Amino acid sequence: MEKITIGIIDDHKIVRQGLKELLQKISNFAVTSEFDNGTDFLASLPLENKPDLFILDYSMPGMNGIEVLKALEEIDEEYKILLLTQHFDEQIIDAAYYHGARGFLHKNCTAHDLKFAIDNIVKIGYNNVSEILKRMRNYETAPDKDAKSQIVLSERELEFLKLVCDERELTYDQMADSMGLSVKSIESYRTALFERFGIKSKVGLVLFSYKYQITPPFI
């Protein structure tokens, strides 16, 4: 079985070492990169050998985990992030999902919880999609029964949204190549959907499609 590669971003060396040893024990996980703060992590991007997933600590000097997630929203390439924190704060959890985290775990979680979350994020893309949908500020209220029928997308917008939801997790450059367009044109489709439906991130586009069952693999 191919190893799942993981990066750890945490300012405590002993925590990184403990996580590394735990991950090696509980499954076919291999820690391939470590950073002791968000600033150094962001400065290293893009990574030549990107891990399948990053475990990101919320409380760090300089930039906290939410600020790191916000910075990642501005980057074309997608990085799967599992936020790990000792603060069980509803606002932190909401902000984490809103800014693109694929999952959230409290530091009191069990080894089983950690393995389960990592496996879900790597294989499915998210851990506990229903909770993310519930918490995303874009989806605070339940849609009307006829809401889906009121969502009108052009043929090109739908093609773009399908590529956003593609399991290969394409970059915007790759989407542009697939559609035979410039990256600027791709960005214009993204901006139009963001503005029309109140979406804030690439993850938000995926959740939008999931909620209304618009594109594969959600239909």
- 40-44, 58-62, 80-84, 91-95: least confidently modelled range: 91-95
Same domain for 120 and 149, yes or no, is: no
- Pick from 116, 135, 154: which residue ends a domain? 135
User: Can you tell me whether residue 53 is helix, strand or coil?
Assistant: strand
Rounded CA separation 65/79 (Å): 13
Question: Which of 60, 140, 132, 74 is CA-nearest to residue 101?
Answer: 132
Same domain for 131 and 161, yes or no, is: no
Q: What value does the mean pLDDT of the chain take?
A: 87
Same domain for 155 and 117, yes or no, is: no
Same domain for 112 and 156, yes or no, is: no
pLDDT tens for each residue of 167-179: 777 888 899 999 9
Same domain for 177 and 128, yes or no, is: no
Residue at 218 is within a domain = no
Given this model, what pLDDT does residue 210 score? Answer: 81
Same domain for 129 and 154, yes or no, is: no
pLDDT of residue 45 exceeding 80, the answer is yes
- Does this model's pTM top 0.85? no
Q: Where are the alpha helices (DSSP H) in the chain?
A: 13-26, 38-43, 65-73, 90-98, 111-123, 129-135, 155-164, 172-179, 183-197, 202-212
Residue at 53 is within a domain = yes
Rounded CA separation 85/46 (Å): 25
Same domain for 82 and 176, yes or no, is: no
Rounded CA separation 152/29 (Å): 43
pLDDT of residue 3 exceeding 60, the answer is yes
First vs last Cα of the chain: how many Å apart?
Answer: 30
pLDDT tens for each residue of 81-120: 999 998 778 888 888 888 889 999 999 999 999 999 999 8
Same domain for 111 and 154, yes or no, is: no
- Pick from 83, 114, 135: which residue ends a domain? 135
Using CA atoms of 105, 107, 108, 110 in order, give the dihedral in degrees to the nearest 10: 60
CATH code assigned at 116 = 3.40.50.2300
Given this model, what pLDDT does residue 139 score? Answer: 45
CATH code assigned at 195 = 1.10.10.10
Q: Which helix (H) or strand (E) holds 82?
A: strand 81-85
The confidence band for 136, taking pLDDT boundaries of 50, 70 and 90, is: low
pLDDT of residue 200 exceeding 90, the answer is no
Instruction: Determine the structural domain holding residue 19 and report its residue range.
Output: 4-135
- Pick from 135, 151, 185: which residue ends a domain? 135
Given this model, what pLDDT does residue 147 score? Answer: 65
Residue at 10 is within a domain = yes
Same domain for 166 and 122, yes or no, is: no
Same domain for 23 and 82, yes or no, is: yes
Residue at 131 is within a domain = yes
Residue at 217 is within a domain = no
**Mind giving me the DSSP string for 12-47?**
-HHHHHHHHHHHHHHSSEEEEEEESSHHHHHHTPSP
pLDDT of residue 198 exceeding 50, the answer is yes
- DSSP annotation of 109 reads -
- 9-13, 41-45, 139-143, 166-170: least confidently modelled range: 139-143
Residue at 219 is within a domain = no
Same domain for 81 and 151, yes or no, is: no
Rounded CA separation 211/129 (Å): 10
The structural domain count of the chain equals 2
Same domain for 32 and 60, yes or no, is: yes
- DSSP annotation of 61 reads S
